[in-house]
Amino acid sequence: MSGNDADAPLVERVKRGDAKAFEMLVVKYQRRIERLIGRMVRDVDLVPDIAQETFIRAYRALPQFRGDSAFYTWLYRIAVNTAKKALMELKRDPIVAETARAARDDDEETSRVENELTDGETPDAVLASKQIAAAVNFAIEGLSEELRQAITLREIEGLSYEEIAEMMNCPIGTVRSRIFRAREAIAQRLRPLLENRSGERW
Amino acid sequence: MATGFEEGSAWREQLSALVDGELHDASSLCAAWREDSQVRATWHAYHLIGDVLRSDDLAGSPARDALLLARVRERLAREPVVLAPAGRLETDAARDRRPMWRAAGAVAAGFVAVAGVYTLMRPAADAPSLSASLPDVPVVARADSFPPAGASQVAPFLVTSEPSLRLVRDARLDAYLAAHKQFAGSSAIGLPVYARPTVDSSPSDGR
């Protein structure tokens, strides 16, 4: 497995039979995969189905994944192929395509509004997303310089702990601690937005 | 500035390191993932943070995220097997794993049915021939319970997400398959292994 792939520890566990480790990878990549599929497929209602199919296909194919590429690169390709396959099946089945088209035509007004919602969700869900984005951005502005730099170098620049330690001129343990504290500080702001009324969601 | 290092929060820092691929032994966290919704929620939050830092339009909605995970989880539970590496092998097959997995897949395909418990053969009858005496066994195993591979055999094995079933070799099946030489000439497949559920009083080690 490529030594630089941050997913290596989890992928190795999946290959040894730990399906829960695969769930962890799902939670990690679901948003990116859904966004990718949403760009390929006009009908946003199809996105969750195609995303689900993508992850199952990846799970089945994982024994053949040998780490020649990064895990996410491999997963990305599976998502693209799965979306293409879904689009072709839609084209081939005239009844499905026609029903979808008829529903759209009957509902021009609503569908115009829905097209504005990038993920086809309700206004409430869109608001929730906006609140989350705002909370994260606000929280990061409130971090100390060290914490903000550490998490930025990690999440945006994609540097390893070792590289960050070099750039920030501190031990790797300090990098790890700073990134953790940055995440926790941001997560504190997010938690009220993430918990649902009935308690645990996961 | 609060450090947040209250009692019992060490796992959060480890989880954060795992997010970055900088924690090499993920086993206890993966075990905790199963048991503890806080671990799951924290993993989700840490990744959501990373995604949003990179792009606001990945903020998504937690409900949507949870729904997709639930659906994938449900389908994973129905997936027959994931063939896993059998560890360090002394055989030719070890030098070239890819044919081994394909061959092992053919073995698995012959043995499995869907949905949790896999019937290997018809129920045993008191018949003289080996083929009739094969037990009705589920073909599932834990990845960490395989016997060490001998120098002349490769033991591919079947794994599911169900951790409570243990691997047991049955000499009758081994003998049956060796006798039928279905995989003669292939160094990749010695003997497939399978398991029957045992009353397992030892605690699952979380893998």
Residues 71-90 of A with CB under 8 A from B: none
Domain count, chain B: 2
Domain count, chain A: 2
pLDDT in tens, chain A (202 residues): 445 789 999 999 999 888 999 999 999 999 999 999 999 998 888 999 999 999 999 999 999 999 999 999 999 999 999 999 999 988 877 666 566 666 656 655 555 555 544 445 678 878 888 999 999 999 999 999 999 999 999 999 999 999 999 999 999 999 999 999 999 999 999 988 887 644 456 7
Q: A104 with A151, same domain? A: no
Q: B19 with B56, same domain? A: yes
Residues 177-196 of A with CB under 8 A from B: 177, 179-181, 183-187, 190-191, 193-196
Q: B97 with B70, same domain? A: no
Lookup: tokens for A164:
């960050």
* Domain span at A155: 123-194
Q: A108 with A128, same domain? A: no
Q: What angle do CA B139, B140, B144 make, to 5 degrees?
A: 140
Quick check: is B133 in a domain?
yes
- Using CB atoms, pick whichever of A6, A19, A202 lies closest to residue B40: A202
Q: A127 with A166, same domain? A: yes
Instruction: For B166-184, give one letter per residue: b (16+ CB within 10 A) or e.
Output: bbebbeebbebbeeeeebe
A89: CATH: 1.10.1740.10
ipTM computed for the complex: 0.86
Q: A43 with A80, same domain? A: yes
Is the pLDDT at B74 greater than 70, yes or no?
yes
Q: A87 with A130, same domain? A: no
* Domain span at B151: 92-180
Interface touch A17/B46, C-beta < 8 Å = no
Quick check: is A201 in a domain?
no
The DSSP output letter for A118 is T
Quick check: is A2 in a domain?
no
Which stretch of DSSP H or E encloses residue B15? helix B10-19
Tell me the average pLDDT across B53-74.
90
Q: B38 with B99, same domain? A: no
- pLDDT, tens digit, 9 for 90 and up, residues B124-167: 344 344 333 334 333 444 333 333 333 333 333 444 444 444 44
A186: CATH: 1.10.10.10
Which residues of chain B neighbour A185 with C-beta distances below 8 Å? 4
Q: B98 with B174, same domain? A: yes
Tell me the average pLDDT across B1-12.
56
Is the pLDDT at B8 greater than 60, yes or no?
yes
- pLDDT, tens digit, 9 for 90 and up, residues B84-131: 554 433 344 444 444 444 444 444 444 433 333 333 333 334 434 433
Quick check: is B46 in a domain?
yes
- Using CB atoms, pick whichever of B22, B57, B66 lies closest to residue A176: B22
Quick check: is B128 in a domain?
yes
Interface touch A177/B13, C-beta < 8 Å = yes
* Closest residue on chain A to B70 (Cα): A202
- Using CB atoms, pick whichever of B24, B40, B51 lies closest to residue A31: B51
Quick check: is B40 in a domain?
yes
* Closest residue on chain A to B22 (Cα): A6
